[in-house]
Every structure is written in C-alpha cells, then in structure tokens.
Amino acid sequence: MIETSLHILPHGITLSCRSAGSPGRPVLMFLHGFPEAAFVWDGLLAHFSQPEHGGYRCIAPNLRGFERSSAPADVAAYRPKHLVQDIAALIALEGGQLECLIAHDWGGAVAWSLAASVPACLKKLAIINSPHPGTFLRELQHSPAQQAASAYMNFLIRPDAEALLAEDDFRRLWEFFTAMGAEDGPHAWLTDAVKAQYRAVWSQGLTGPCNYYRASPLRPARPGPPHHDPAAAAVTIPRAMLEVHLPTLVIWAMGDTALPPALLDGLDDFVPQLTLRRVDGATHWIVHEQPALVAAYLQDFLRQALGHQRRQLLKQ
C-alpha cells in the first residue's frame, strides 16, 4: 500500500512523499525527474517493500517545485546545493543513511551531486538514464550531437515556457514521451489513468520544474544576439565534485535520444566502483517501459552489495 505524507524539513522546505514499507527497515529512496513526479515509482515502492524483495522502507519525494512540495519563486532556489540539502535533510529524517538512492533524469542530477558531496548519506547509488555531470559537461562543450539533443533545454528556460507547456491539454509535455527515443504511436504504459496522474501534477504548477533548467548552466550555449549565453561553454567543475566512491549501478536505455550513449564514455574514471547495464530497445522512459527489468537489475545490485558487506565483516 502506498502512503502519502508531507515532510517538513529543518530549513523550511516541505516535501510531499510517497512511501511503502515499515519505518525502521533499511531505506531505499527514489528521486524522479522532469516532467514526472514521485508517483512514477509506485510500482518499485510496492515491489521492494515486500519481504521477499528485501522488505525495505521505500520513500519517493516529490522534488521541490513539483506536486505539493514547496516551490520557491526564486530561480536561484533550484541550484544544486539547495536540491542536495533537501534530500540530505529528508535522509536524516529517515534514519540518517540510505541502503541505496535510486534516481532518474533530474533526480539523478541531484543524486550524483549528493553522492559526491555527502557520501555518508548513502551506502549505494543507482542511476537510471541521468548523465554524470563530468561526462555531460564534456559532451555539451565538445559534441555537436549532444548540443543538438539538449537543445530543448533552452526552450524550457524561456519566460513563457510554463504557459506554452500548459497549452492544448499539455500537448508539448505529452510530446516529451514521444520525442526522447520512443517510437511514434500509442505507448502501452501511458494509459488514461496514468495520464490523469500526470495532469493532476502538472495542473499544480510548472514554474518550479522549469526553474531547474533556468538555474542550471549545464545546457547548450546560445550564441549571438539577443542572448550571448555561453551556458555550459563557460562552466568548470572541480574534480572533487565529480568523483563518486560508492558502489554505483547505472542502468542506461540505449535508445534515449536526449542522452546519447557517448555520455557513458569515461564514466568509470569518475565512478571507479561502477556496474553498468546497457539496455537496447528502451528509451529515456525505461522505468515505464521495462519495469520488471529495472527491478531485476536493482535487486541484483542490492544483493551483490549486501554480499560484499557480509564478506567484509567475515574478514574482520
């Protein structure tokens, strides 16, 4: 059974959350991306809270700006340090350390930053089609293919972006599900009931979600007048903010047209304890398209890491 709750964090932000499983059990936390919300994880919350799949305490927050979570008006409030602060504070409320943080898309951007800056918050990290900031910056600076694939980001920073996204029953938002590698035509997972869940979230406001893009320089440059916006071309990230020294699973759908597979090149240089699962025939929306496969890869990763911990204890 999925429960909903509001978690008030010490720094004044409230996150609306969905959860399953008993408090006090090892915790799995799931972070969603754009243009989604915490409900997209319901199947995995139910799966991993069951005793035969680990009996975890599973929690999925709506990130700040989404659904009923706090949505500060200031664009600067969506910079990475604030997003990381939210999740670190929520982890503290849930016991102080996660068994694993699982994240997709923008949730993955937060998770990469958290794992690099506050690694004590989690034992393991699992990323689903969310680029590591080091390889993403490299590709945005040097790859015309990635610059073209990410061009949509500069639409989302327009001052009228949320108004345009809401037009015609959110027509442009539905197109996100057909323009990131999915074939044209009906998608079995995008049922009328699921569409109703998306409409309910989007109707609560789109400014917060768009502010993620407005606050981030990790997007293609906009040369020439009237913008003269170098964006990623002017960014440098210290190496210490890029290294993740935790067991890390990356599940990558190879048909993601927004995030081409070149983003995986050199990833193990930043993430030495990397397990990489490439999935052909899947898109950016792999969590919806192949939920059983995603669950199986996560289950295997959790068991492997648990086995490693037990072996380490036996050596002591």
Q: Where are the domains of the chain?
A: 3-315
Give the integer Cα–Cα distance in Å for 121 and 123.
7
pLDDT at 314: 42
Give the integer Cα–Cα distance in Å for 299 and 304.
9
pLDDT at 118: 96
- Express as a percent the part of the chain with pLDDT over 70: 92
pTM: 0.95
Give the integer Cα–Cα distance in Å for 282 and 181.
8
pLDDT-derived band at 304 (thresholds 50, 70, 90) equals confident
pLDDT at 227: 67
pLDDT at 310: 46
Q: What is the CATH code of the structural domain delimited by 3-315?
A: 3.40.50.1820
Let me know the angle formed at the C-alpha of 109 by 86 and 161, rounded to the nearest 5 degrees. 90
Let me know how long the chain is: 316
Order the strands of the 248-253 sheet from edge to edge: 3-8, 14-20, 57-61, 27-31, 100-104, 125-128, 248-253, 274-279
Chain-centroid distance of CA 222 in Å reads: 25
Q: Are 141 and 233 in contact, with CB atoms under 8 Å apart? A: yes
pLDDT-derived band at 180 (thresholds 50, 70, 90) equals low
User: Does 191 have pLDDT greater than 70?
Assistant: yes
Q: Are 272 and 300 in contact, with CB atoms under 8 Å apart? A: no
Residues 6+ apart with CB under 8 A from 86: 9, 13, 15, 61, 63, 64
pLDDT at 45: 98
